[in-house]
Amino acid sequence: MIDCVSENSVLVTLGNRIDPALTSKIVALCEWLDLNGEGWLVDLVPSYTTLLVVYDPLQRDFRDVTRIVRQGVGGLAQLTRQPSSEGHSHEIPVYYSPESGPDLLALAKLKGLSVDEVIRLHSQRSYQVYALGFLPGFGFLGTVDPQIQAPRKVVPRASVPAGSVAIANGQTAIYPRTSPGGWQLIGRSPTVMFDRHSLSRLSIGDQVRFFPVSRKEYLSMGGEL
Amino acid sequence: MSLFRIENPGPLTTVQDNGRQGYQRHGLAQGGAADRHAFMWANKLLENAPGSACLELAFGGFEAVALAPVTVAVTGAAWEVQLNEDFMPTWRTLELARGDRLRIPPVRHGRFSYLAIPGGVLSETVFGSQSVVMREGVDGLNPIAAGDVIGGKSAGILPQRVVPLRFQRRYESPVLCRVIAGYQYHQFSGDDRHRLFGQRYTVSSQSDRMGFKLSGAPLQSPPSGVISEGVALGSIQVPGDGNPIVLLNDRQTIGGYPKIGVVSTLDCSRLVQALPGQQVAFALTDLEAMQSEWLMFERFFQVSRWNPSGTDLSWGG
């Protein structure tokens, strides 16, 4: 479905529920538009089930853009191969502890688990990057094991330290920089998620795994406390 | 070359241009001049290329000393500037001699003023733009601080010009925002749609370059959240409290609140000049009308030419 949103954007909706299979379609559509959007494509904002296509109305009007985008969406049905980037895999070290993750104990208690079980459940599965947003390099990763899902905090923190690893319902994320935030903090990673030279470490469609490290390892990797 | 030394940047002064294009998929905001009307006119006064970087000054209280003879242009909220001891009108070029002191007093109406210099402000370009988005804290993109030296491509005195009165804006009147109905428009109840378009809202103090929160009689039953999706400039999102938020240049790239529609790009420029307590109303419009109006606006700045007296323009060839 393609809807006109504003004078210079249309929204492509490829599904109405979160589904990892949609992400590879959205990535493929981004790649197709990057190739076919020369001269009029301004920006692409992929998310879970949608792609916002921002265009230059001086070059194409909404009828042209809708037609071109429809052609791209039509091509997805015949897409036999996966998009060229299967998605990178990332291994992200995390120092899970009450010291680095102030909500870890409360979350374990809430879910009736030991801290070690929370850590095991968070680090045993591979997560897909569904979307980027909120801050440069902030990836929305899913899906978190239902046994450790917890809602956002009622009162968000004024300052969440950079590198914080956090959970909100079925999603988990790494805060690329210090910012306000309402997610449940369970640890911290020394990995730089965004800088001005390499841009965002994560891209939509990538796979992410977390692995626990000790306090000493965290600090030796450049982590701060 | 060095053109100014900043004595006092005021509450917030940043470099802004057309904004960032092509980086929203990395989570970077669009940014860019919040009032495109005043920004385009500041550049036009100096015949800078449309979109050249300007200083965007919030609320006035700005002071700088010229380090070389230079013609500048000031548009937007500042209704007058102080050049040494003299008060001068804005929306026109100003000739500064070396050592002249330019002061932009606190503004009474409107928020943002634009100071253009010949060829555009020189500053670091990061991800294709000089625009500063404060909350992102990207290295190299900082607000202007006291003691900073503002560089430009050239000094020099340009012809005197003034924006024709019909294009100059004051910002004290209530704001009318024309709205393109969104794809989620029909998810709102008829009563709530009526409520949105039938009342005058007030700009709240929670309003900045990210978005403007408006207060009024709340919508009674906004739809619950949607799966987070890319949000366009001007999107009117309605969270659970029923009061609309209009999302602007520094908005987050994706969001999960339902959106009843989108404020036209040109009206976003007007809304962003409103101060807390000022009134805002919404009116339905259609996409085609807004697209042609915007195109006319952009083409005007591309092709219009100043007449020799610098008091009016005509459409060029």
Structure tokens at A75: 């091509």
pLDDT score at B226: 84
Residues B283 and A30: their CA atoms lie apart, in Å, by: 34
Q: Is the pLDDT of residue A83 over 60?
A: no
Residue A49 CB: number of other CB atoms within 10 A?
23
pLDDT score at A153: 87
pLDDT score at A86: 67
Same domain, B18 and B156: yes
| B302 in any annotated domain | no
**Closest to A7 (Cβ–Cβ): which among B24, B127, B265?**
B265
pLDDT score at A154: 82
Reported as a single tens digit per residue, the pLDDT across A209-224 is 999 999 999 999 999 9
Q: Is A141 at the interface with chain B, CB within 8 A?
A: no
Same domain, B132 and B185: no
Closest CA to B196 of B168, B144, B228, B238: B238
Residue spans per domain, chain A: 2-77, 89-220
Structure tokens at A99: 């010291």
Q: Mean pLDDT over residues B224-238, rounded?
A: 93
Same domain, B57 and B144: yes
Strand, coil or helix: what is B307?
Answer: coil
Same domain, B229 and B258: yes
Residue B261 CB: number of other CB atoms within 10 A?
28
pLDDT score at B225: 80
Q: Mean pLDDT over residues A195-210, rounded?
A: 92
pLDDT score at A111: 96
Reported as a single tens digit per residue, the pLDDT across A103-137 is 999 999 999 999 999 999 999 999 999 999 989 99
Same domain, B22 and B107: yes
- Cβ distance of A45 and B24 shorter than 8 Å: yes
**Topology of domain A89-220, CATH:** Cyclophilin (2.40.100)
Same domain, B65 and B189: no
| B36 in any annotated domain | yes
Q: Is the pLDDT of residue A94 over 90?
A: yes
Reported as a single tens digit per residue, the pLDDT across A132-180 is 998 999 999 999 999 999 998 888 899 999 999 999 999 999 999 999 9
| Residues of chain A contacting residue B265, judged by C-beta atoms under 8 Å apart | 6-8
Q: Mean pLDDT over residues A51-57, rounded?
A: 97
Return the sign of the alpha-carbon dihedral for residues A173, A179, A183, A188: positive
| ipTM attached to this prediction | 0.95
Same domain, B155 and B183: no
| Residues of chain B contacting residue A134, judged by C-beta atoms under 8 Å apart | 27, 252-254
Same domain, B77 and B222: no
| B50 in any annotated domain | yes
Residue type, B50: P
Q: Mean pLDDT over residues B12-26, rounded?
A: 96
Q: What is the CATH number of domain A2-77?
A: 3.30.1360.40
Same domain, B59 and B196: no
- Cβ distance of B27 and A204 shorter than 8 Å: no
- Cβ distance of B234 and A6 shorter than 8 Å: yes
Same domain, B115 and B44: yes
The domain boundary residue, chosen from B137, B162, B187: B162
Residues A168 and A153: their CA atoms lie apart, in Å, by: 9
Q: State the count of interchain CB pairs (< 8 A) between A and B.
A: 137
**What share of chain A has pLDDT > 70, as a percent?**
96
Question: How many domains does one find in chain B?
Answer: 2
- Cβ distance of A137 and B252 shorter than 8 Å: no
CATH number where B280 lies: 2.40.100.10
pLDDT score at A197: 84
Structural domain containing residue B261 = 175-285
Same domain, B236 and B202: yes
The domain boundary residue, chosen from B162, B195, B222: B162
Nearest CA in chain A to B300: A58
Same domain, B187 and B274: yes
Q: Is A195 at the interface with chain B, CB within 8 A?
A: yes
Residue A144 CB: number of other CB atoms within 10 A?
19
Residues B3 and B11: their CA atoms lie apart, in Å, by: 21
Q: Is the pLDDT of residue B205 over 80?
A: yes
Closest CA to A6 of A62, A67, A63, A69: A62
